Structure 1
Amino acid sequence: MFELIIRNGTIVDGQNRPRYEADVGIVHDRIAAIGQLGDAEAQLVIDADGLVVAPGFIDVHTHSDAILLSQPHLLSKTMQGFTTEFLMLDGISYAPVSRRTVHGWIYYLRSLNGLRFEQYTGWESIGDFMSLLDGKTAQNVATFIPYANVRTLAMDPGEQCPNDYQRVDLQNLVRQGMADGACGLSTGLDYVEQCFATTDELVAACRGMRVEQGVYVTHVRYALGTLEGVKEAVEIGRRAGVPVHISHLKGRNEEEVEALIDYIDLVAVNEVDFTFDCYPYMSSSTMLQYLLPQEIWRDGVFGAFARLTDPSLRDRFQRRLDTLDLSSITFAWMPGRQNRQLTGMTLEQYARRTKRRPADALCDLLIEESMAVLLIFHSDERGLEAEFLAHPYSMLGSDGIFFAEGKIHPRQYGSAARLLGHYVRRKRLFSLEEAVYKLSGFAATRFKLKNRGVIRRGAYADLVIFDPETIADNATFDDPHQLATGVEHVIVNGTPIVLHGKPVSSALPGRYLRFGAE
């Protein structure tokens, strides 16, 4: 007897093979049978007639690190079909930390994750942090090693180059992260601490995971330009002997897109084991502090806050702002109730409203909000993302940032559904089989999540059942907190977490998925 049978579904198996009709029988957390199961009985039977049965989707780039501690079922993601969230991207997160560094990280990350100081319970290692989620969430979690956290443990703030002892410490911390189950090392080379890391330093750090073949996952050094940043990433992977994965790859215009695609096809894939992720929007989102001159981080996070009043720093900040179209950048979220009416307003409108120079107005806002201001960078370009979405080396990473209020980027609520609805059904950019592969099997293979991302006997029963004719994203920039539609059932480790389009609130079957482990 099965615990669950899915009958009459169209199987899209996550391996980019042709769809077929079959029943799926589940026992405990595994797929036990695939075929015509006839009169077989089960405790629960789901009729999937007219629906697609696919492996649960894997989001390889999220910022769900903290929200899952307080909201174990992240509906904005599961209602798109995501069953696994990758954490600790862009080289910044809540572990590894020490008593010396943890408060700086909680302070710095408030506009990404919103963790409060009182939520810190004493964890230090990646293993400690992930144990807080293992078996306590609806969806599975996997992780990378955030390099800035590693760097702040081994080096003082703003140091340019590690000495021999620090280099050993960096490598040992990377090895410890891999031993804790991480899938590789993540960097965000425009963010705090990592902006000071040299190419040689990153090569040395990556050598700490060469034996395991952990993946170097990077938000590239955009200060160099996107193409030059990707080239640096490939150099790091080649010299360190590790695979390379580029986070949220996109181009600003047709010329840059063409140059990036040419480099990937002609050089990158021939020099290293290369992949990348992207999301189905041109507009992006990050913290306001990202725009500050990088030198502000030389004295650490709290030192940076103190420097926000420095006139010379404000002058340099203004020169940076002068290169941007402030009418295309909007406030997405900030914690202060007195400023929440600013969400949706452009930086240009805000500066005019304050009747001040933009740098002064924004630095004072950062002081008022303790540096926790989230932005959206809107783009008028249309269709450029399609080149990356359709590329054979790409998979989906939403880069989603969740807050329950504000005008956050709709990618948090819509990425997978938009891929399947807009780009598969409407635009016919690629086949349903290809899209499901990008959402599941490709990611599982890339990051060595064994027996995930595939429908086959013996694989873990992480499944999404959706209507290919109706699945759609509903979130917009004006109204982002709208759940996707078309996903009927979601199963994690054999346990339904969504049934008939409704969440199963008591179900928390998610696990910590370790690199290369069952």
Structure 2
Amino acid sequence: MHYRKRKYSLPGKDAAGNADFAPSAGDRAACEFLFFHDDRVITIHQEQLTLFDSIIEGGTVIDGTKAPRVRADIGITDDRIRAIGDLSAAQATQRIDARNKIVAPGFVDVHNHSDGWLLKKPHLLPKTTQGFTTEVLMADGISYAPVTPLTARDWMFYLKALNGLGLADYSGWESLEDYLNLLDGRTAQNVATHVPYANIRANVRGWGRGAVDDFQMRQIKAAITEGMAQGGVGLSTGLDYICQCFSTTDELADACTAMAAAGGLYVSHVRYKRGTLDGMREAVDIGRRAGVPVHISHLKGSDPQAVEEILEYLETARREVDLSFDVYPYSPGSTMLSYLVPYDVWEQGPIHAISKLADPVIRERAEVGLKNYKLPLDEIHIAWTHSKENSRHQGKPLDEYVAETGKPAAEALMDLLIEERLGVLLVFNEGDDRHIEPILQHDLYMMGTDGIYCEDGPVHPRMYGSAPRLLGPLVRDRKLFSLEESVYKLAGYPAQRFGLVNRGELREGFYADVVVFDAETVTDHATFKDPRQLSTGIEHVLVNGVPIIADGVAVDQTPETVPGRYLKFHRDD
């Protein structure tokens, strides 16, 4: 690569002799060395100019496009990459030694549950030590916005098990933009957002199973349009969760037409309880009818036959719609205990659900449901409880907990939900991680950690180890695919898919979201027994040109230097 040439007047004077003239930061960063003054060409040696804020030197650059790696330095000024090439003679305020390391674009997590914790904990170290520079929030159609004064309390109550925000944390926000503005410039990472469907449906229709009428659909579409105008990347649904579990295929297809003109994605946790393939078919049908791209959340199969069927259907589906999907590199999953209750519990909202959980009819149906799902209670453990009183059960398998209560399984679990006011998180330990590998190898796959952060308790290790697990054990050791392909799946592909402008690649003019890692040592350490272990091998992370991880350690930030931004779909504002 070569420096671009540009003509300046001599620093200190312009062509008219004005003494206060100097090249702009952008011009300095462009690596120009010839200046013209009084028709004389004057060579300014590189070392006489402060060209960059930072130079990442000596690294092997994998640019996020799947192109072959190259040896190059990267020069950063302000929040942008200004030069890529041989910058050995250039000056910089700081130099980052990347010799024998990989330099890659910052990773993008397209499915997570960081929404609430980022309000309370601006630097989520379990994520930044994996190299994630951007979080796409509000997955599964459920989040903290948009809300109304009538629904806000219910959402705080319902989401307790995922993010731990309480009513005391609610400051009166209502729209997506209100909420994201609370994070803009106040987090270590960038944030983008889905438009969560359950929030909109609850605002317009309420919590129950009744059909959406024409007037309500117009309101829903207006809310989706507003969410897209505020920067949303698309509409997210979680069709096994509250409120949206009552939505029909026709309703969802109609709602999605509101974002077709903007190119928004239909992003769905499909109806997995009815079967993965049936859920996928519905998502594809919705996308085809609405004319929108489709993205399926945390797609995986429980056994080799299920995986083969999923892979076969993906080839059919991609001919019908513009399709992609995410998943984390583990077979076991995690969710709220309330996921297991009958849908009828939610008809009057989360707060009223407490009384319904005591209903003998609901409990009988829950017992039947547990048997029909054939859930292995010995392979599901309690990861977190809201109260300190029940925290002694954290890490305990459900069969052991149920046996201690002396009650039938559904009764014991419904009682626990009542005691904890819905605040119970589970981790499912069943499954063989080898079943996930063919899914990861698919060209439509990108990373979504589905990470859930809690300050204590044995949470799912995906929160701490997803990206390094992919880069190390799966790519380096098991050679599932090339390192170039893995960086594309972690950065270039999700940034392109979710409309993150000038991000996801290492290219001059792009934002300086950069990760430096050791390909020989990068790995995860989090396990199901000890999940709170940070990954290693991610040595430097920069967000918008600002270091947030240096030599594997978090960089202290002041409120003025926190670099994260609110990113908007296909906009650079």
So what's the TM-score if we normalise by structure 1?
Answer: 0.99
The total of aligned residue pairs comes to 517
Conserved 8 A contact 1:184-1:214: yes
Aligned twin of 2:211: 161
Matched position secondary structure for 2:73: strand
Pairing partner for 1:66 from 102, 116, 123: 116
The separation in 2 between residues aligned to 1:84 and 1:208, in whole angstroms, is: 26
Aligned twin of 1:300: 349
Conserved 8 A contact 2:65-2:488: yes
Q: Deviations over 1:247-297 (max 9, x none)?
A: 0000111111111100101x1110000000011000000000000011111
Q: Deviations over 1:460-480 (max 9, x none)?
A: 000000000000000111111
Determine whether 1:327 maps to 2:406.
no
What is the identity, as a one-letter code, of the residue corresponding to 2:350?
V
Q: Deviations over 1:114-147 (max 9, x none)?
A: 1010111110000000000001110000100000
Conserved 8 A contact 2:541-2:549: yes
The separation in 1 between residues aligned to 2:293 and 2:411, in whole angstroms, is: 43
Note the C-alpha offset of 1:301. 1.1
Q: Deviations over 1:337-374 (max 9, x none)?
A: 11111111111111111111111111111111101100
The separation in 1 between residues aligned to 2:348 and 2:97, in whole angstroms, is: 59
Aligned twin of 2:20: none
Q: Deviations over 1:182-224 (max 9, x none)?
A: 0000000000001000000001110110100100000001132
Matched position secondary structure for 1:276: strand
Aligned twin of 2:41: none
Note the C-alpha offset of 1:159. 3.3
The separation in 2 between residues aligned to 1:195 and 1:61, in whole angstroms, is: 19
Conserved 8 A contact 1:73-1:508: no
Conserved 8 A contact 1:160-1:198: no
Matched position secondary structure for 1:23: strand
Structure 1 unaligned segments of length 5 or more: list them.
none
Note the C-alpha offset of 1:101. 0.4
Aligned twin of 1:357: 408
Q: CA RMSD in A?
A: 0.8
Matched position secondary structure for 2:160: coil
Aligned twin of 1:439: 490
The separation in 2 between residues aligned to 1:142 and 1:431, in whole angstroms, is: 28
Aligned twin of 2:189: 139
The separation in 1 between residues aligned to 2:265 and 2:448, in whole angstroms, is: 15
Determine whether 1:291 maps to 2:345.
no
The separation in 2 between residues aligned to 1:115 and 1:457, in whole angstroms, is: 40
Aligned twin of 1:345: 396
Aligned twin of 2:360: 311
Matched position secondary structure for 2:367: helix
Matched position secondary structure for 1:90: helix
Matches within 5 A, 1:194-213: 194-213=244-263
Pairing partner for 2:67 from 10, 14, 17: 17
The separation in 2 between residues aligned to 1:12 and 1:138, in whole angstroms, is: 23
What is the identity, as a one-letter code, of the residue corresponding to 1:499?
A
Aligned twin of 1:116: 166
Conserved 8 A contact 1:88-1:186: yes
The separation in 1 between residues aligned to 2:73 and 2:376, in whole angstroms, is: 54
Aligned twin of 2:324: 275
The separation in 1 between residues aligned to 2:354 and 2:198, in whole angstroms, is: 18
Note the C-alpha offset of 1:382. 3.4
Quick check: which has more Rg, 1 or 2?
A: 2
Note the C-alpha offset of 1:304. 1.3
Note the C-alpha offset of 1:328. 1.1
The separation in 1 between residues aligned to 2:519 and 2:273, in whole angstroms, is: 41
Aligned twin of 2:563: 509
Query: 1:477/1:77 Cα in 2 relative to 1: closer, same or farther (>3 Å)?
Result: same
Note the C-alpha offset of 1:38. 2.4
Aligned twin of 2:46: none
Matched position secondary structure for 2:71: strand
Matched position secondary structure for 2:319: helix
Note the C-alpha offset of 1:380. 3.4
Matched position secondary structure for 1:383: helix
Note the C-alpha offset of 1:160. 2.8
Aligned twin of 1:427: 478
Conserved 8 A contact 2:57-2:88: no
Conserved 8 A contact 1:424-1:435: yes
Matched position secondary structure for 1:299: coil
So what's the TM-score if we normalise by structure 2?
Answer: 0.90
Matched position secondary structure for 1:132: helix
Note the C-alpha offset of 1:151. 0.1
Determine whether 1:458 maps to 2:512.
no
Matches within 5 A, 1:355-394: 355-394=406-445
The separation in 2 between residues aligned to 1:347 and 1:246, in whole angstroms, is: 29
Conserved 8 A contact 2:185-2:565: yes
The separation in 2 between residues aligned to 1:119 and 1:164, in whole angstroms, is: 35
The separation in 1 between residues aligned to 2:275 and 2:389, in whole angstroms, is: 37
The separation in 2 between residues aligned to 1:205 and 1:82, in whole angstroms, is: 31
Note the C-alpha offset of 1:305. 1.2
Structure 2 unaligned segments of length 5 or more: list them.
1-50
Conserved 8 A contact 2:302-2:431: no
The separation in 2 between residues aligned to 1:38 and 1:380, in whole angstroms, is: 50
Note the C-alpha offset of 1:156. 2.3
The separation in 2 between residues aligned to 1:275 and 1:487, in whole angstroms, is: 27
What is the identity, as a one-letter code, of the residue corresponding to 2:566?
Y
The separation in 2 between residues aligned to 1:237 and 1:321, in whole angstroms, is: 32
The separation in 1 between residues aligned to 2:474 and 2:394, in whole angstroms, is: 29
What is the identity, as a one-letter code, of the residue corresponding to 1:139?
Q
Pairing partner for 2:450 from 374, 396, 399: 399
The separation in 2 between residues aligned to 1:335 and 1:364, in whole angstroms, is: 14
Matched position secondary structure for 1:361: helix
Matches within 5 A, 1:229-248: 229-248=279-298
What is the identity, as a one-letter code, of the residue corresponding to 1:348?
D
Aligned twin of 1:37: 87
Q: Give the 4+ runs in structure 1 shifted more than 6 A.
A: none
Conserved 8 A contact 2:329-2:433: no
Conserved 8 A contact 1:33-1:457: yes
* Larger CA deviation: 241-250 vs 504-513: 504-513
What is the identity, as a one-letter code, of the residue corresponding to 2:465?
G
What is the identity, as a one-letter code, of the residue corresponding to 2:505?
V
Conserved 8 A contact 2:380-2:430: no
